[in-house]
Amino acid sequence: MGMVGGGPGAFIGAVHRIAARMDGQIELVCGAFSSHPEKSKQAGEELFLDPGRVYNSYAEMFEKESRLPKGERMDFVSIVTPNHLHFDPAKMALEHGFHVVSDKPMTFNLDEAEKLKAIVDKTGLLFCLTHTYTGYPMIKQARHFIKDGKLGKIRKVYVEYPQGWLSTPLETEGNKQASWRTDPKKSGMAGSLGDIGTHAANLAEYVSGLKIVKVCADINIVVPGRALDDDDAVLLKFDNAASGVLIATQIAAGEENCLKIRVYGEKGGIEWKQDDANTLLVKWLDKPAEIIRTGGPGNYPEVLFNTRTPAGHPEGYLEAFANLYRNFALCLCAGLNHEAPKPEWLDFPGVEDGVRGMLFIEKVIESGRSERKWIEV
Amino acid sequence: MGMVGGGPGAFIGAVHRIAARMDGQIELVCGAFSSHPEKSKQAGEELFLDPGRVYNSYAEMFEKESRLPKGERMDFVSIVTPNHLHFDPAKMALEHGFHVVSDKPMTFNLDEAEKLKAIVDKTGLLFCLTHTYTGYPMIKQARHFIKDGKLGKIRKVYVEYPQGWLSTPLETEGNKQASWRTDPKKSGMAGSLGDIGTHAANLAEYVSGLKIVKVCADINIVVPGRALDDDDAVLLKFDNAASGVLIATQIAAGEENCLKIRVYGEKGGIEWKQDDANTLLVKWLDKPAEIIRTGGPGNYPEVLFNTRTPAGHPEGYLEAFANLYRNFALCLCAGLNHEAPKPEWLDFPGVEDGVRGMLFIEKVIESGRSERKWIEV
Amino acid sequence: MGMVGGGPGAFIGAVHRIAARMDGQIELVCGAFSSHPEKSKQAGEELFLDPGRVYNSYAEMFEKESRLPKGERMDFVSIVTPNHLHFDPAKMALEHGFHVVSDKPMTFNLDEAEKLKAIVDKTGLLFCLTHTYTGYPMIKQARHFIKDGKLGKIRKVYVEYPQGWLSTPLETEGNKQASWRTDPKKSGMAGSLGDIGTHAANLAEYVSGLKIVKVCADINIVVPGRALDDDDAVLLKFDNAASGVLIATQIAAGEENCLKIRVYGEKGGIEWKQDDANTLLVKWLDKPAEIIRTGGPGNYPEVLFNTRTPAGHPEGYLEAFANLYRNFALCLCAGLNHEAPKPEWLDFPGVEDGVRGMLFIEKVIESGRSERKWIEV
Amino acid sequence: MGMVGGGPGAFIGAVHRIAARMDGQIELVCGAFSSHPEKSKQAGEELFLDPGRVYNSYAEMFEKESRLPKGERMDFVSIVTPNHLHFDPAKMALEHGFHVVSDKPMTFNLDEAEKLKAIVDKTGLLFCLTHTYTGYPMIKQARHFIKDGKLGKIRKVYVEYPQGWLSTPLETEGNKQASWRTDPKKSGMAGSLGDIGTHAANLAEYVSGLKIVKVCADINIVVPGRALDDDDAVLLKFDNAASGVLIATQIAAGEENCLKIRVYGEKGGIEWKQDDANTLLVKWLDKPAEIIRTGGPGNYPEVLFNTRTPAGHPEGYLEAFANLYRNFALCLCAGLNHEAPKPEWLDFPGVEDGVRGMLFIEKVIESGRSERKWIEV
């Protein structure tokens, strides 16, 4: 694979590389790691890359790589830049025939998202959007459990993603991660909503199998001087008449990343949280709650397929991330071999999730500004 | 004390009696336990009461007890009937000179609540509303902690009270507790909102020291055929510009009573949940989280005053409930002795909390029906 | 009831009174609360007792009470003194025809224990030893579960009672609780082993239904200058060939009272800890673990009989303690009414548990001093 | 690197490969994956290896690789075979000039261990023993915390490793993992003690900084027909007079891999368990307990060095494992560059730990068979 972004000082680029590398199927062969050529070069050296394949720009990379012989050139590109730099490299990669893995949110705005979807649809190339949390085995267990009807008709979805790291104006203190995330020119129309709220929304839809159709949002800027939201709460309506609550905040001082989801149906409910990622709690109306554990009794085969160790050896964020890359790579290899991918390989978020994410952002921000209670998605 | 309600088949009456009895200061001496005289009589027998002080109606009880000599007659009455039977006995008790402990919500509607407040104010008698959860030591710790400014300015309040017991139409199957709670003639304009939502709202205000000033509510009837809400989610605005989310639901299948509150300020946050009631988690922006435990290091004196055992001997719901009765009784005794109560004795919910609770119900239900986003409280 | 001990400065006396009072069946009518008559008098006043029934000594109490007419005199006595003052009042009470509730360990040494058992057997009076932890509903659930064979043959028992409060020589600083517990003249031959180790051993036998038949002990005095053990670890063998480990320590700095027990059989295991007393974890070899909750689905009727509130309202230490008193009182009333007690009423620790406890202490202390590995019990 | 073992059906080999690969510093270049040449070949193909470097035996591998030019041949070998096949390949690798990573226990018996140590000492080559659990960030935090004297003098160590997977005679049902572990010819003199007890002992010494000097063991064969222990409990004495308890069992039906350690000193204690691997609980005698989290406030620099993501993104077993490989590789590279390794790079278990592990096994098994209480280590 090649990489766009992820140079010195970046966080998520290194995570993508570990995830891609974990299962021994994917090799990083080239990159345009920074808009500063020296920084890109430095990153390439640290990654033991052939200097000839460390590029000054992604435009250069796509062009030169596409001229390399098949089997030698990169198979796909991984885009790990800030939001405003997702669309252009993705579009260009696809137009040069490369499959794409992109960080989320997919684009800067909904318009770009729809355009990108059109290109993906037209080229027929693979597109993976790294909504990491869908890669957790127990999240997949929950999804299959609900799909199987174990909980009966779904009635309620609570999802929350509380963080505290933006409780102070870090962006004024030279924190690179804070700076672009709070900058409307780089982040888009949303702050915390785009950064973590879309993860929560995507997770809610992935687990419940439902679609959000209406939102009513309280969108706040809590830290003075900030231009984008750092705190969000959204009432939700789903397409089967279930309702829900989504919380995303970056000013819950003292919180780390304890993304949590609860879904209740007629017969029971499930609960999962990232801090105890290998446990799925299943609660029942009329019998004792059960604890399903990664790799333990009761796992669906599709879940076991996404684990690497026997039950009790905790797998974490990087393994969840690696599941996305692994499944994407399996599909890619199947394509190279002109074989049909197995159904479980197709289990990674794609361009459709990306469009829904951007739609969600636009509608929630609209709701936040509106005096009307419900906005349709 | 005397008791109105709490006869055979009732749940909360027995709880009140245990709570009142726990600290050896309060003795049940009379009661009108049911609108059916035989049932009242039966309850009186089971409680070893003097048959002459087991009454056929609360009207009879107030009249006859008030004619007994001081020191012999009951000092106060505890009202543990369904909501529609709170106001009349409370009013009558006060008018006969008896102090009152009442279950919540305080009355059937806001109008009654305001009238009752006027009577309490006029008579100068004591009134305790049993918002039980404020009786927990760690809830008091959280309140003092926040009042002390330890968290800085409060920014966010999340409170939730998920139950699952009304996931099916129990009220059609002869369940007495379900029946009156889902009956608008007995419960009032709200179902789960009145039953548990008011507990959550009261707790949010008690702990944060803030007042709810605006609400935006999603009020649902999930179980078909029900006349009152069984599922609520409310966005909140507080008087210091903090915002919040309140969840109260009785259709979260598999949930018991895990009332939970989180409050975040500029410097950190607190977290408490009833399932682990003797733990207060304190999270900090810049140092490790701390675990404050009932009776352990760091407890405020006012908190220790509300515990009965050394740290590590779990105290629960009944002890929290007993704290309300104990503090109420201490104030009552002080009054009898013409002494000023100590400040920590005054720590029980009163008629003002009751008025706010009824106001909260009216405004949230109004919001639930409105197309406008925010309704002022 | 009457009480021996529990005067000013005592801890466990107040706990006994709350526990006895909780269910409205037992009334404290007299006491000899201290060896200092003024202190006894003071306690009596604070407890609103008839001054004529506050005695200067237990000898006086037993004599005078036994001369009162039946129905007026106390029915039983509760002994809440330090260990060296258990046997004599218990013996005297029984000889005067009074039933007895006694704190644990039952006596000062095994010899006293055997004598007391003989007296109880001869008089046919009721005797309750307050091994409080057997009063927890989920402990009873575990016992019934195992008795039912749900786990198959039992193979392993781990029980631990870690405390930290004696990590420093509190007994030299005027701490009354520490002073008598570390004094061989008051506590007996064991320190932490008698204070908490016997609770752990009793719990292990109660839950597993097995008897300890061999011990191998590491008995330590960790805090310099102490005469009795403050830290114990014991390897156990049970009568069905299962083995186990018992830990009791009072120098685990930072620990409160998190008594914990795990029992494993061929098919699965159970886990309970006092800090989460309303949860029983049931783990299975071949299916997901289950969470059984006080009052929730799957509770045995005998367990529900020992709860006071619906599931999710946490019951704690005082309620567990009250279950002992309640069951004892039910048996006592049955006796007064010449009726047979129901089987579930007989569920409280008795004189046989007391003898086993003293035997356990003697054998474990012997093992601690021995170079031989195993000592038979 | 090259690999010995880890062919089809193996578990730990795949784990080693993921761990080695994670940080992008180590590439698998050759292997002798099985004693069956076809299986070795198959493994090599699945791993995309040059067929010319997939060997039929480790002897062949060491010989042929050592003849390759420097820079081309493997730098070190990873040995992931059953215990009886650790010593010979390790010895041979060292004698051919290759550094070694070996799974634990280090050898088949103590004699081999001492011989291996002599060879390592003589050759001056690097040797890493994969006591994985020392790779967890919060374990390193605990070690540094204790080393720093934060807990005062250490008094007590509890370590436990309960598993349930050998509750039934899986070895008779064709389970490969169970078969060699229960076979004295492959596993050595110990079963569960060698498999997981040595992990627990190593962890206890690593975290506490103490050495075990005496043991008193209860060694059991619980599942009938087994030749080696499947259940162990050991009383411990440390070189500073602290005492401890070690539990290792594979018949705790329903348990996974919840390795847990608690260490108490004069001022407080620490608690860590693998199921919540990113949390270190620090308990204090006189102030609230603290929760230290991987990557969060209070982490030592040496701890942060062993994390890959910001706080709240759970890292697990594979990351802990990778820390061993990463630190080993950093030292190896430093050696290649004739530079001194940084102190934090030296933090991986070595040959000395291996000798202690084998000594521990021998002495504990001896104790299990002895009638004497304490055996010196």
Average pLDDT over residues C185-210: 98
Whether D163 contacts D249, CB under 8 Å: yes
In terms of domains, do D186 and D306 share one? Answer: yes
Residues of chain B with C-beta less than 8 angstroms from the C-beta of A243? 218, 220, 231, 233
Give, in order, the Cα–Cα distances in Å from A251 to each of A165, A276, B265, D309.
7, 22, 9, 20
Residue A47 touches chain D, beta carbons under 8 Å: yes
Note whether residue C16 is domain-resident.
yes
Count of CA atoms in the C-beta half-sphere (13 A) of B104 = 32
Give, in order, the Cα–Cα distances in Å from D149 to each of B87, D25, D153.
63, 35, 7
Whether B84 contacts B108, CB under 8 Å: yes
Whether C259 contacts C200, CB under 8 Å: yes
Give how far C194 is from chain D: nearest CA, Å: 20
Q: Which two tokens stand for residue D38?
A: 């076809």
Peptide bond connecting D105 to the previous residue in cis, omega within 30 degrees of 0: yes
How far apart are alpha carbons A317 and C355 in whole angstroms? Answer: 55
Phi, psi angles (nearest 5°) of residue C373:
-75, -55
In terms of domains, do A163 and A306 share one? Answer: yes
Residue D276 touches chain A, beta carbons under 8 Å: yes
Helices C110-123 & C87-95 angle (0-180, nearest 10): 10
In terms of domains, do B119 and B144 share one? Answer: no
- B28-62 b/e (C-beta count within 10 Å ≥ 16 → b): bbbbbbbeeeeebbbbbeebebeeebbbeebeebb
Q: Which of D373, D374, D375, D376 to mutate to test the interface with C (most CBs of C within 10 A)?
A: D373
Whether D269 contacts C254, CB under 8 Å: yes
Residue B312 touches chain D, beta carbons under 8 Å: no
Q: What pLDDT does residue C364 have?
A: 98
Q: What pLDDT does residue B55 have?
A: 97
The H or E element that residue C218 is part of is: strand C212-220
Subunits close to D (at least 3 CB pairs below 8 A): A, B, C
Residues of chain B with C-beta less than 8 angstroms from the C-beta of C274? 312-314
Residues of chain C with C-beta less than 8 angstroms from the C-beta of D243? 218, 220, 231, 233
Count of CA atoms in the C-beta half-sphere (13 A) of A116 = 34
In terms of domains, do D161 and D208 share one? Answer: yes
Residue A164 touches chain D, beta carbons under 8 Å: no
Q: Which of A290, A294, A299 to mutate to test the interface with C (most CBs of C within 10 A)?
A: A290
Q: What pLDDT does residue D9 have?
A: 77
Q: Is the dihedral of CA B80, B81, B83, B84 positive or negative?
A: negative
How far apart are alpha carbons A103 and A81 in whole angstroms? Answer: 8
List, in sequence order, every residue forming a beta bridge with A59; answer none if it has no partner: none
Of C284, C286, C298, the CB nearest to A287: C298
Residue A227 in this model has a pLDDT that exceeds 80: yes
Q: What pLDDT does residue D2 have?
A: 98
Note whether residue A280 is domain-resident.
yes
In terms of domains, do A18 and A41 share one? Answer: yes
Q: What pLDDT does residue B31 have?
A: 97
Cα C281 from chain centre: 23
How far apart are alpha carbons B327 and C353 in whole angstroms? Answer: 39
Task: Give which of D80, D82, D104 is closest to D93, Cα–Cα.
Answer: D80
Residues of chain C with C-beta less than 8 angstroms from the C-beta of A298? 287-288
- C137-176 b/e (C-beta count within 10 Å ≥ 16 → b): bbbbbbbbbbeeeebeebbbbbbbbbbbbbbbebbeeebe
Of A284, A286, A291, the CB nearest to C289: A291
DSSP A5: S
In terms of domains, do C218 and C289 share one? Answer: yes
Count of CA atoms in the C-beta half-sphere (13 A) of B88 = 10
3-state SS class at C171: helix
Residue C290 touches chain A, beta carbons under 8 Å: yes
Give how far C137 is from chain D: nearest CA, Å: 23
Q: What confidence tens digit (pLDDT) does each residue in A312-357 have?
A: 999 999 999 999 999 999 999 999 999 999 999 999 999 999 999 9
Whether C373 contacts D373, CB under 8 Å: yes
Count of other CB atoms within 10 angstroms of residue D64: 15
Residue B210 touches chain A, beta carbons under 8 Å: no
Residue C312 touches chain A, beta carbons under 8 Å: no
| Closest residue on chain A to B168 (Cα) | A266
Give how far A286 is from chain C: nearest CA, Å: 6
What residue ranges of chain B have pLDDT lower than 50?
none
Count of CA atoms in the C-beta half-sphere (13 A) of D16 = 28
DSSP A250-314: S--TT-----EEEEEESSEEEEEEGGGTTEEEEEESSS-EEEEETTSTT--HHHHTT--S-TTS-
Task: Give which of A369, A205, A244 is closest to B218, Cα–Cα.
Answer: A244
How far apart are alpha carbons D318 and D16 in whole angstroms? Answer: 9
List, in sequence order, every residue forming a beta bridge with B273; answer none if it has no partner: B260
How far apart are alpha carbons C239 and C209 in whole angstroms? Answer: 10
Q: What pLDDT does residue A357 have?
A: 98
Give how far D23 is from chain A: nearest CA, Å: 7
Task: Give which of B198, B184, B268, B273 is closest to B228, Cα–Cα.
Answer: B184
Note whether residue C242 is domain-resident.
yes
Helices C110-123 & C351-369 angle (0-180, nearest 10): 170
- Write out A37-84 in H/E/C secondary structure: HHHHHHHHHHCCCCHHHECCCHHHHHHHHHHCCCCCCCCEEEECCCHH
At residue D153 the predicted structure's pLDDT band, cuts being 50, 70 and 90, is very high
Of B47, B278, B309, the CB nearest to C24: B47
How far apart are alpha carbons A370 and D163 in whole angstroms? Answer: 56
Residue A9 in this model has a pLDDT that exceeds 80: no
Cα A188 from chain centre: 16
C47 burial class (0-12, 13-18, 19+ CB within 10 angstroms)? middle
Give how far C278 is from chain A: nearest CA, Å: 13
Q: How many domains does chain B have?
A: 2
How far apart are alpha carbons B100 and B3 in whole angstroms? Answer: 10
Q: Which of C161, C319, C336 to mutate to test the interface with B (most CBs of B within 10 A)?
A: C319
In terms of domains, do C362 and C242 share one? Answer: yes
Phi, psi angles (nearest 5°) of residue B174:
85, 10
Q: What pLDDT does residue B11 have?
A: 83
Give how far B186 is from chain C: nearest CA, Å: 22
Give how far C365 is from chain B: nearest CA, Å: 27
What single letter denotes the amino acid at residue C290? E
Task: Give which of A139, A98, A110 is closest to A348, Cα–Cα.
Answer: A139
Average pLDDT over residues D299-328: 97
Give, in order, the Cα–Cα distances in Å from C310 to each of A289, B80, B318, C315.
16, 17, 12, 10
- CB contact under 8 Å between B298 and D288, yes or no, is yes
Order of all β-strands in the sheet with B76-79? B30-32, B2-4, B76-79, B99-102, B127-129
Task: Give which of B16, B38, B37, B36 is closest to B28, Cα–Cα.
Answer: B16
List, in sequence order, every residue forming a beta bridge with C158; answer none if it has no partner: C245, C262
Task: Give which of C247, C209, C133, C349 is closest to D244, Cα–Cα.
Answer: C247
In terms of domains, do A288 and A141 share one? Answer: yes
Of B233, B245, B253, the CB nearest to A265: B253
Note whether residue C115 is domain-resident.
yes
Note whether residue B115 is domain-resident.
yes
Average pLDDT over residues C347-358: 98
Whether A232 contacts A197, CB under 8 Å: yes
Residue A250 touches chain D, beta carbons under 8 Å: no
Residue B371 touches chain D, beta carbons under 8 Å: no
Interface confidence (ipTM) of the complex: 0.97
3-state SS class at B309: coil
In terms of domains, do B16 and B125 share one? Answer: yes
Average pLDDT over residues D266-283: 98
Whether A108 contacts A87, CB under 8 Å: yes
Q: What confidence tens digit (pLDDT) does each residue in A154-173 have?
A: 999 999 999 999 999 999 99
Whether A37 contacts A70, CB under 8 Å: no
- Chains C, D: CB contacts within 8 A come to 122
In terms of domains, do B287 and B174 share one? Answer: yes
Q: What confidence tens digit (pLDDT) does each residue in C63-120 have?
A: 999 999 988 999 999 999 999 999 999 999 999 999 999 999 999 999 999 999 999 9
Residues of chain A with C-beta less than 8 angstroms from the C-beta of D316? 313-316, 319
Task: Give which of C359, C325, C377 is closest to C101, Cα–Cα.
Answer: C325
Count of other CB atoms within 10 angstroms of residue C121: 12
How far apart are alpha carbons D183 and D181 in whole angstroms? Answer: 6
Q: What pLDDT does residue D207 have?
A: 98
Choose one of A129, A157, A190: the last residue of a domain. A129
Q: Which of D280, D309, D315, D326 to mutate to test the interface with A (most CBs of A within 10 A)?
A: D309
List, in sequence order, every residue forming a beta bridge with B220; answer none if it has no partner: B231
Note whether residue A53 is domain-resident.
yes
Residue B258 touches chain C, beta carbons under 8 Å: yes
Q: Which two tokens stand for residue C324?
A: 């002992």
How far apart are alpha carbons B107 and B355 in whole angstroms? Answer: 9
> Containing domain of residue B213, as a range?
135-311+355-369
Q: What confidence tens digit (pLDDT) does each residue in B137-167 have?
A: 999 999 999 999 999 999 999 999 999 999 9
Note whether residue B178 is domain-resident.
yes
In terms of domains, do B271 and B148 share one? Answer: yes
Q: What pLDDT does residue B185 have?
A: 97
Whether B215 contacts B234, CB under 8 Å: yes
In terms of domains, do A204 and A308 share one? Answer: yes
Note whether residue C320 is domain-resident.
no
| Closest residue on chain B to A216 (Cα) | B373
Residue A149 touches chain D, beta carbons under 8 Å: no
Choose one of C88, C114, C129: the last residue of a domain. C129
Phi, psi angles (nearest 5°) of residue A11:
-105, -50
Choose one of B103, B129, B155: the last residue of a domain. B129
- CB contact under 8 Å between A254 and B285, yes or no, is yes
Peptide bond connecting B105 to the previous residue in cis, omega within 30 degrees of 0: yes
Give how far C188 is from chain D: nearest CA, Å: 24
Residue D145 touches chain B, beta carbons under 8 Å: no
Q: What confidence tens digit (pLDDT) does each residue in D4-15 have?
A: 999 987 789 999
- C279-308 b/e (C-beta count within 10 Å ≥ 16 → b): bbbbbbbebbbbbbbbbbebbbebbbbbbb
CATH number of the domain to which D283 belongs: 3.30.360.10
How far apart are alpha carbons C192 and C219 in whole angstroms? Answer: 10
DSSP B161: E
Give how far A150 is from chain C: nearest CA, Å: 15
